[in-house]
Structure 1
Amino acid sequence: MFTYKILSLVMCLLFQRPQVPVLCYHNMHASGGHPDNVLYISPAQFSNQMQWLNKNGYHSITPDELYAYLHNGATLPAKAVMISFDDTHEEHYTVAAPILKRYGFRGVFFIMTVSIGKPHYMTAAQIKSLSDSGHIIACHTWDHPNLSKVSTYDTQKQLVHPKQLLEKITGKTVSYLGYPFGGWNEQVVKDVKAAGFKAAFQLDRHSFSDDPLYSIRRIMISGSWSGEQLEEKMKTAFH
């Protein structure tokens, strides 16, 4: 009973803390795709958004820093933001990483391991280079299933083995998961915990009241947003 009360208090404190914006990017093409498509952004527009954040005093944080804030109440820098990228696209290394470096930001790269080394995706060497440069490598399963909608899935194949492979590539512990399609449910959370992840990131849905560390919210970023619009969306979505 005492342990349950302590856990309930911790969960209550997590929900009371001001939310930290977590941004989610996918493809980076010169065309930028359709203006309203949140899966695409042009390199120029991504640079504009990062420049805006930099000029307006934002500081990128890592999942470890966010975890320490949510779990323990650790102090974060003013105007903290986490910048994340999904799906292992090669342009995350060739385009996004240099732009992040230009503005003094670090990124979080959620890797689906089936894609490593395939055309238009990052190689193991590129993933290690990102990690060695101070960026964070996180897991995005093996082949991107919506874990909340498939009737069964192999936890070793989708969670444990990808985690182990990324740890072998980077030489570092991989502690965080990004749910493909943002999909999760209570059973998925149990499996993610059992696989050794300390927190997991979804998309713009409600948080899991029993364990919000396994349903940390992110928002997908439109390539049509200006820096001002991005900041306004951040303030609206995270409060």
Structure 2
Amino acid sequence: MKKKPFFLVFFLLLLLFSILVYWFRPENVGVENTDYVQQKTGDHTSHSLEPKGSDVEQIPSRNSKPEEKISNERWYKDKVVILNYHHIDRDSNKPFVITPEQFGEHLQFIKEHNFHPISLREFFTFMQTGVTAKENAVLFTFDDGYESYYTQAYPLLSEYGYPSAAFVIAGRLRDTMDRKRENMTVPLAYQQIDEMLASGLVDIGSHTFSLHEHKELDEWGVQKAGTEPVYLEEFQRAENEEEYRSRLFVDFKMSKIGLEQLVKKPIASLSLPQGYKSKIVIDSAKEAGYQYVFTSRRDVVKPNEDPYSIPRFDVGIRKVGAPQLLELFTKVKMEE
């Protein structure tokens, strides 16, 4: 008789446990399994609080960006495509000026299509060895040294972590206050160059000292590049070879010395105004101490390329967008 209370209590506990198990079964709490469950009614989708499994439907947050599609395509190896720019300005209609949005489109294209920007220093290594550390190598260069390189290009390039090189006209560089008193397309300031150099993403080269400053003419009044022989109006004759060589050497050397004092590094490269070159131009560049000369000849840089005739693609113009870049790189790939 003493065992009856024990069995009665045991029976009541068992009954209570059965009720609890029944009440909390999955079908009674709206969960069909222990993994993630998606219930759809019409166009509406509801989700449990803790989704699991490989078939989870991701819901992007309001601030999240769409997933980027990055290609792993190999376009070329042990070659470099140099993309050259000049000025970035949203309001200018000049041919060698692009908008910030257009430049951003170029950078996104480079990223999405598996191209790898390299620094000017890495490019020099390629010129010496014929080998690139990365496939699909590209080099960004900017001629003239306008302030827009600092205010527009450099911030965008930094977001991507992309290096670039600025070929500056040394005679145009100014202190910040001096530039504000001059009526010209604003050039870089010394302080801006110092800041960019400190980032490790920027290298500096020469774009002459002042051969962009004057509209040089020949004897027929036709405008010429500053590196071409010019007509001496004062003497009513064309300059002779000795005068021509002297003018080029002095300019090239002044630019090199001035920039080296500014950046505290050797300046090994020269970008020619309007890409004009001749034997005398190259001889003068060598004599002034340059090891690499960049032109406007459109081509890919290959192993064993002539270091005094480096080709580039001028893409910093309004008509070049992502479709034109795709066409350019497709042609390069077809030549592999």
Q: How far did residue 155 of structure 1 move?
A: 3.7
2:257 maps to which residue? Answer: 164
- Indicate whether 1:124 and 2:190 are aligned: yes
AA matched with 2:86: H
Structure 1 spans left out of the alignment, 5+ residues: 1-16
Alignment TM-score, normalising by the size of structure 1: 0.82
Q: Is the contact between residue 149 and residue 183 of structure 1 (CA under 8 Å) also seen in structure 2?
A: no
- Structure 1 residue 107 displacement after superposition: 1.0
Partner of 1:46: 103
Deviations 1:156-210 (A, max 9, x none): 5311111111111111111111001101111111111111111110002689xx9
- 1:14-93 correspondence runs (5 A): 19-31=79-91, 33=93, 37=95, 39-93=96-150
Q: What do you get for the CA RMSD once the two structures are aligned?
A: 2.4
Structure 1 residues 46 and 205 mapped into 2: Cα distance closer, same or farther (>3 Å)? closer
* Counterpart code for 1:226: G
* Alignment map for 1:104-115 (pairs within 5 Å): 104-115=161-172
Cα 1:167–1:231 shift into 2, 3 Å = farther
Deviation track 1:83-139 (CA, whole Å, cap 9, x = no partner) reads 010111111001100000011111110000121123511111112222222201000
> How high is the TM-score relative to the length of structure 2?
0.60
Corresponding residue number in structure 1 for 2:44: none
Equivalent-residue separation in structure 1 for 2:118 and 2:292 (angstroms): 15
Q: Structure 2: which amino acid aligns with 1:143?
A: S
Q: Which stretch shows the higher mean deviation, 191-200 or 227-236? A: 227-236
Given the alignment of the two structures, is residue 103 of structure 1 paired with residue 163 of structure 2, yes or no? no
Q: What secondary structure does 1:51 align onto?
A: helix
Runs of 4+ in 1 over 6 A off after TM superposition: none
Q: Is the 8 A contact 1:176 1:198 kept in 2?
A: yes
The answer to whether the 8 Å contact 2:260/2:266 transfers is yes
CA contact (8 A) 2:79 2:136 kept: no
Answer whether contact 1:139 1:178 (CA < 8 A) is retained. Answer: yes
Partner of 1:8: none
Amino acid at match of 1:45: Q
Is the partner of 2:289 in helix, strand or coil? Answer: coil
Q: 1:64 to 1:73 in 2, by over 3 A?
A: same
Tell me the secondary structure at the aligned position of residue 121 of structure 1: coil
2-structure distance, mates of 1:236, 1:47? 23
Tell me the number of residue pairs that the alignment of Structure 1 and Structure 2 aligns. 218
| Aligned partner (choices 207, 214, 228) of residue 148 of structure 1 | 228
For residue 93 of structure 1, what is the amino acid of its counterpart? Answer: Y
The answer to whether residue 204 in structure 2 is matched with residue 137 in structure 1 is yes
Distance 1:127 1:86 in 2: 14
In structure 2, do the counterparts of structure 1 residues 205 and 230 end up closer, same or farther at CA, with 3 Å as the change threshold?
A: closer
Could you tell me which amino acid in structure 1 is paired with residue 289 of structure 2? G
* CA radius of gyration, larger in: 2
Q: Which of 1 and 2 has higher RCO (CA within 8 Å, sep 6+)?
A: 1
Shift of 1:63: 2.7
Shift of 1:32: 5.2
User: How many angstroms apart in 2 are the aligned matches of 1:149 and 1:233?
Assistant: 34
For structure 2, the residue ranges without an aligned partner over 5 or more in a row are: 1-76, 213-225, 231-238
Q: Output aligned runs, 1:182-197, within 5 Å.
A: 182-197=275-290
